[in-house]
Structure 1
Amino acid sequence: MIINGKKYVFSRGVAFYPEKEMEILKKQAQQGWAFQKLNAFGLLKFSKADPENKKFSVDFFSGSKTDISEYLSFYEEAGWECITAYKGKYFYFKADPCTPTIYSDEESYGLRMYKEWMWMFWRNLLCIPIGLVFFWLNVKLGQWDIPHNSLFFSTRMLLLFVGTFLTAMPLSIIINVIFSLVIYKDRRKFYDRPEQFAKKQRYVRDLAILMVIGAVIGALMAFTGLVDF
Structure 2
Amino acid sequence: MSNTKYVMSKGVAFGEEEEMEMLSDYASKGWVLYKFSFMGYKLKKAKPEKLQYSLDYRYNADEEYFSYFKEAGWNHICSASNSMHIFSAPEDTKPIYTDSDTKSEKYISQYKLAKKITVPSLLCFIVCSILFTILVSLAKYNYIPHIYIKIFGVILIPTLIITLIITIVTGLPCISYYTTLNRIKDGSSTHVNHKALKKLLDTLATIATILVISLFLLSLFNIIIIKMVGFLLIGLIAFITCLLSTFVK
The two structures have a TM-score, normalised by structure 2, of 0.65
Give the aligned partner of residue 170 of structure 2: 170
1:35 aligns to 2:29 (yes or no): no
Give the aligned partner of residue 116 of structure 2: 122
Q: Determine what percentage of the aligned residue pairs are the same residue.
A: 24
1:146 aligns to 2:137 (yes or no): no
Give the aligned partner of residue 161 of structure 2: 161
1:125 deviation in Å?
A: 2.1
Match of 2:14 among 7, 16, 32: 16
The change in CA–CA distance for 1:79 and 1:112 in structure 2 (over 3 A counts) is same
Partner SS, residue 53 of structure 2: strand
1:171 deviation in Å?
A: 2.9
Q: 2:100·2:185 contact (CA, 8 Å) conserved in 1?
A: no
**Whole-angstrom CA distance in 2 between matches of 1:93 and 1:38:** 12
Aligned partner of 1:114: which letter?
Answer: I
How many residues are matched? 208
Stretch deviating more after TM superposition (131-140 or 12-21):
131-140
Structure 1 residue runs of 5 or longer lacking an equivalent are 191-196
Partner SS, residue 228 of structure 1: helix
- Superposed CA deviations along residues 6-37 of structure 1, whole A, max 9, x for unmatched, are 43333232233221111001001111112133
The two structures have a TM-score, normalised by structure 1, of 0.70
**Whole-angstrom CA distance in 2 between matches of 1:87 and 1:169:** 18
Structure ranking higher in helix proportion: 2
Structure 2 residue runs of 5 or longer lacking an equivalent are 140-144, 216-226, 232-249
Q: Larger Cα Rg: Structure 1 or Structure 2?
A: 2
**Whole-angstrom CA distance in 1 between matches of 2:35 and 2:135:** 43
**Whole-angstrom CA distance in 2 between matches of 1:44 and 1:105:** 28
1:79 deviation in Å?
A: 1.4
Partner SS, residue 33 of structure 2: strand
**Whole-angstrom CA distance in 1 between matches of 2:117 and 2:149:** 37
Match of 2:45 among 44, 48, 51: 48
